[in-house]
C-alpha cells in the first residue's frame, strides 16, 4: 500500500497543471455546418480561430517533471488523457511507410508495441494500460520519430494492449490535419467566449469547460434591411443580438433620416415623429453601430409591446420589462430591477465586453460571462447635438416610453458593474439591441 501511495503522489506531481480537454463543434437551426469558431479566453484575453469541423485541444499546462516537458507531440494525439482504463491514440502518416508504435512504462520497459506497413493518412490505436502511471508513446517511420506521453490513473487487471483500430482520411494533407487540431493554453476555471460562424449566421456562447464536450451553436437568421448580418446570443430564455444594430432603413425599404450636423440634431424634438440616426462622430465604420432617436428606434410605435422598429423581421426593440427580465436572469433582484438609477450588483459587468481597449480605465467588474458583448458607444445629446462619452458609457433604448416626451433606456459605465435605468428625452441618440420574437 505504501508503494501504491508513493506512485500516486509521483503521478499527481507529474501531471500538475497537465491535461487535455477536447472541444468539438456542431450547428443547428438555420445551419448545421460550422465554418469557423472564434475563441477568446476571457480570463487571459488570448484568442485563436479554429475550423468548425476541427477540434480545439485545451491544454492545461506543462508537466511538472522537467525532463518530460519536451515530449508533447504535434503529430500524436491521445484522448482521454489522463485516462482510467484505456485511451485512443491518433497520428498522421504523410506517406506509405513501415511504422513502429512502442509504448513504454516509466521504467523504460516496453509494455506494448506494433509494427506494420501503414498507408498515408490518419491512424487510430487503442492503448489499454495494466498499471497506473506514466507511459511514453513512440511512433517512428523511415524519416520521422515522434514521442508523446499518457497517464493512467487506475490499476487494471488485464494485460497491457495496443490495438490498431482504423485508418481514415487517406487523402488528407498534413497541413489540413494539423489545422484541424488546434492547441490552446487553458487553466481550469477559465471562461471561453465562442463565436460560431456559418456563412451569414453567427452565434455567441460563453462556456467554462471542465470536460471534453461538443458545443452546438443554434444559428438564427438576423439580417437587417441593409443586408447587415448580426451575431446572436442566448441568455436564459431570451435571444439577443450580440452587437448593436446599424441599419439605415426599415424593413420594407423606408430610409431613416441621416443627421450629421450638430445643430440639426439639436433641433429634433422629444416626440414620436423625429426619426433620425447617426454614427458616433459621423464615422460610418464605427464599431459601435448606429445611434437612434427613440422615434427612429421604434419607427414611431410608442406602444411598448412587440415593437419591430429598426429591427429585422422576427426581432423587436426590447420593452422595459424585457430589459428587466435580462437583468434578473443575470442575478438582479426584482426590487432592484424595478428601481431607477444604478441598480443591482455585478449584472452590468456580466454584460460588458472584455479583452478590448474600447472601455476606458479598468472597466470595473467586466466579465462578459453573458456573451452580450456590450461596448461603450456613447450618446448624442439632444438640444445641442454633440457626441459624448464613447469609451466611458454605452446606452440602449427600450421600446417603453415613460411619458410623451421621455422613454426608458439602459446605461453601462466603465467605472461600475451595475446597470442604470433612466428615462431621457426621446431626441437623445442611443444604441439599439434587438430581441428575438
Domain boundaries, the chain: 2-16+62-179, 223-436
pLDDT beyond 70 at 243:
yes
Q: Using alpha carbons, list the distances in angstroms from residue 171 to 125, 167, 180, 391, 433.
A: 19, 11, 15, 50, 46
pLDDT at 84: 83
CATH 2.60.40.1930 fits 2-16+62-179, yes or no: yes
Angstrom distance (rounded) from CA 51 to CA 98: 31
Residue pair 16/142 in contact by the 8 Å Cβ criterion: no
pLDDT-derived band at 302 (thresholds 50, 70, 90) equals very high
Which of 6-10, 76-80, 181-185, 258-262 is predicted with the least confidence, judged by mean pLDDT?
Answer: 6-10
User: Minimal CA–CA distance to 181: which of 282, 270, 90?
Assistant: 90
14-30 confidence digits (pLDDT tens): 444 445 688 889 999 99
Q: How far apart are the first and last CA of the chain?
A: 63
* 433 three-class SS: coil
Angstrom distance (rounded) from CA 355 to CA 157: 49
Give Cα 334 to chain centroid, integer Å.
Answer: 29
Helices (H), 209-333: 262-266, 294-298, 320-329
Angstrom distance (rounded) from CA 293 to CA 274: 7
pLDDT at 167: 62
Residue pair 251/269 in contact by the 8 Å Cβ criterion: no
User: Minimal CA–CA distance to 216: which of 196, 235, 199?
Assistant: 196
Angstrom distance (rounded) from CA 242 to CA 205: 10
Angstrom distance (rounded) from CA 54 to CA 34: 10
pTM for the predicted model, two decimal places: 0.74
Residue pair 315/435 in contact by the 8 Å Cβ criterion: yes
- Residues 408-432, mean pLDDT to the nearest whole number: 98
- Residues 210-227, mean pLDDT to the nearest whole number: 94
164-200 confidence digits (pLDDT tens): 987 654 444 444 444 445 567 788 899 999 999 999 9
Which of 53-62, 212-221, 238-247 is predicted with the least confidence, judged by mean pLDDT?
Answer: 53-62
Residue indicated by cell numbers 406602444: 303
Residue indicated by cell numbers 442604470: 420
What share of the chain has pLDDT > 90, as a percent? Answer: 63
- Residue 171 — φ and ψ, nearest 5°? -90, 0
* 229 three-class SS: strand
Is 405 exposed, middle or buried (CB count within 10 Å of its CB: 0-12, 13-18, 19+)? middle
CB atoms within 10 A of CB 141: 16
pLDDT at 180: 47
pLDDT beyond 50 at 265:
yes
pLDDT at 60: 65
Angstrom distance (rounded) from CA 75 to CA 9: 30
Pair type for strands 55-59 and 97-104: unpaired
- Residues 365-391, mean pLDDT to the nearest whole number: 96
Dihedral-angle region of residue 189 (phi above 0 means left; psi in -120 to 50 means alpha; beta otherwise)? left
Angstrom distance (rounded) from CA 87 to CA 402: 62
Which of 78-87, 174-183, 333-342 is predicted with the least confidence, judged by mean pLDDT?
Answer: 174-183
pLDDT beyond 50 at 272:
yes
- Residue 326 — φ and ψ, nearest 5°? -60, -45
Angstrom distance (rounded) from CA 430 to CA 44: 31
* 213 three-class SS: strand
Amino acid at each position: 500500500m505504501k508503494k501504491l501511495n508513493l506512485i500516486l503522489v509521483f503521478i499527481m506531481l507529474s501531471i500538475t497543471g497537465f491535461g487535455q480537454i477536447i472541444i468539438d463543434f456542431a450547428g443547428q437551426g438555420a445551419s448545421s455546418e460550422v465554418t469557423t469558431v472564434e475563441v477568446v479566453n476571457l480570463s487571459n484575453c488570448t484568442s485563436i480561430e479554429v475550423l468548425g469541423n476541427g477540434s480545439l485541444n485545451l491544454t492545461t499546462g506543462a508537466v511538472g517533471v522537467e525532463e518530460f516537458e519536451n515530449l508533447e507531440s504535434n503529430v500524436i494525439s491521445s484522448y482521454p488523457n489522463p485516462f482510467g482504463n484505456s485511451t485512443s491514440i491518433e497520428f498522421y502518416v504523410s506517406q506509405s511507410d513501415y511504422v513502429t508504435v512502442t509504448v513504454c512504462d516509466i521504467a523504460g520497459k516496453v509494455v506494448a508495441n506494433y509494427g506494420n506497413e501503414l498507408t498515408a493518412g490518419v491512424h487510430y490505436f487503442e492503448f489499454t494500460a495494466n498499471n497506473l502511471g506514466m507511459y511514453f508513446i513512440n511512433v517512428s517511420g523511415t524519416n520521422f520519430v515522434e514521442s508523446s506521453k499518457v497517464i493512467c490513473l487506475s490499476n487494471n487487471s488485464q494485460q497491457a494492449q495496443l490495438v490498431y483500430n482504423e485508418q481514415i482520411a487517406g487523402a488528407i494533407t498534413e497541413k489540413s490535419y494539423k489545422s484541424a487540431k488546434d492547441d490552446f493554453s487553458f487553466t481550469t476555471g477559465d471562461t471561453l467566449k465562442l463565436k460560431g460562424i456559418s456563412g451569414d449566421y453567427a452565434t455567441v456562447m460563453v462556456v467554462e469547460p471542465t470536460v471534453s464536450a461538443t458545443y452546438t451553436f443554434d444559428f438564427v437568421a438576423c439580417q437587417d434591411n441593409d443586408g447587415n448580418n448580426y451575431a446572436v446570443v442566448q441568455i436564459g430564455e431570451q435571444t439577443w443580438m450580440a452587437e448593436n444594430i446599424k441599419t439605415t432603413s426599415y424593413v420594407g425599404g423606408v430610409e431613416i433620416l441621416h443627421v450629421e450636423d450638430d445643430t440639426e440634431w439639436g433641433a429634433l424634438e422629444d416626440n414620436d415623429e423625429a426619426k433620425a440616426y447617426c454614427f458616433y462622430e459621423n464615422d460610418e465604420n464605427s464599431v459601435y453601430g448606429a445611434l437612434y432617436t427613440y422615434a427612429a428606434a421604434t419607427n414611431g410605435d410608442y406602444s411598448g409591446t412587440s415593437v419591430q422598429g429598426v429591427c429585422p423581421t422576427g426581432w423587436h426593440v426590447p420593452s422595459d420589462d424585457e430589459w428587466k427580465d435580462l437583468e434578473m436572469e443575470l442575478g438582479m433582484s426584482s426590487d432592484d430591477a424595478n428601481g431607477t438609477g444604478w441598480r443591482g450588483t455585478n449584472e452590468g459587468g456580466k454584460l460588458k465586453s472584455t479583452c478590448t481597449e474600447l472601455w476606458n480605465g479598468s472597466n470595473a467588474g467586466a466579465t462578459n460571462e453573458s456573451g452580450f458583448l456590450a461596448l461603450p458607444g456613447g450618446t448624442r445629446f439632444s438640444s445641442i447635438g454633440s457626441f459624448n462619452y464613447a469609451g466611458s458609457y454605452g446606452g440602449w433604448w427600450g421600446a417603453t416610453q415613460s411619458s410623451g416626451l421621455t422613454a426608458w433606456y439602459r446605461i453601462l459605465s466603465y467605472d461600475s458593474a451595475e446597470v442604470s435605468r433612466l428615462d431621457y428625452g426621446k431626441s437623445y441618440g442611443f444604441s439599439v439591441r434587438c430581441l428575438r420574437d
